[in-house]
């Protein structure tokens, strides 16, 4: 029996922090940290971090659409980022840490645009929503030590997450409604 799945790709700053909220969802089959949207083939973490490849740090999610919808993935995404920051995310600055939704097809594009519009209309944020919605590009998996980093290196992950300011931001704007 073949498993039917779809792909969703999101950039939300440090990819370490973007994996666990999605991995917890029923219907998510796999998550991968990696790089997308740039102009260099097979970039390394060092190259991407140096802001020379045009890539975003991103997470790619394989999911079963019969169990978890793309709309739910979008909700989780929006609740992990600062959608008003065009210069990066939290402590991570620069183009490789900008937030973006990379759509795989027209259906995802329409849903992503509708979710962005709904967030703008909610007036939850007092600044404009600047998160980009871009066509999917080649996705290069990050080095193995980055995969499931929060599981492999929980102390380093928690320390990095604590100093980032991400959790305080999420709590301020989403409170107990956070889906992660």
Is 14 catalytic? The answer is yes
> Quick check: 77 and 122 in contact, CB under 8 A?
no
How buried is residue 46: exposed, middle or buried, by Cβ count under 10 Å (0-12/13-18/19+)? Answer: exposed
Copy the structure tokens of residue 12: 């939300």
* Gap between the Cα atoms of 45 and 73, Å rounded: 25
Catalytic residue among 11, 14, 81, 119: 14
CA distances from 14 to 6, 8, 39 (A): 23, 17, 20
Instruction: Just list the catalytic residues.
Output: 14
């Amino acid at each position: 029996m073949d498993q039917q799945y779809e792909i969703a790709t999101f950039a939300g700053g440090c990819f370490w922090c973007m994996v666990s909220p999605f991995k917890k969802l029923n219907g998510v089959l796999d998550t991968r940290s990696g790089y997308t949207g740039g102009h260099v083939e097979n970039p390394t973490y060092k190259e991407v971090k140096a802001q020379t490849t045009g890539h975003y740090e991103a997470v790619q999610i394989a999911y079963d659409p019969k169990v978890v919808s793309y709309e739910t993935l979008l909700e989780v995404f929006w609740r992990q980022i600062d959608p008003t920051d065009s210069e990066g995310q939290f402590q991570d600055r620069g183009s490789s840490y900008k937030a973006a939704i990379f759509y795989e097809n027209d259906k995802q594009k329409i849903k992503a645009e509708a979710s962005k519009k709904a967030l703008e209309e909610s007036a939850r944020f007092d600044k404009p929503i600047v998160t980009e919605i871009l066509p999917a590009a080649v996705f290069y998996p990050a080095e193995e030590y980055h995969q499931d980093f929060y599981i492999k290196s929980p102390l380093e992950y928690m320390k990095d997450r604590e100093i980032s300011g991400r959790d305080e931001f999420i709590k301020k704007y989403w409170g107990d409604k956070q889906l992660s």
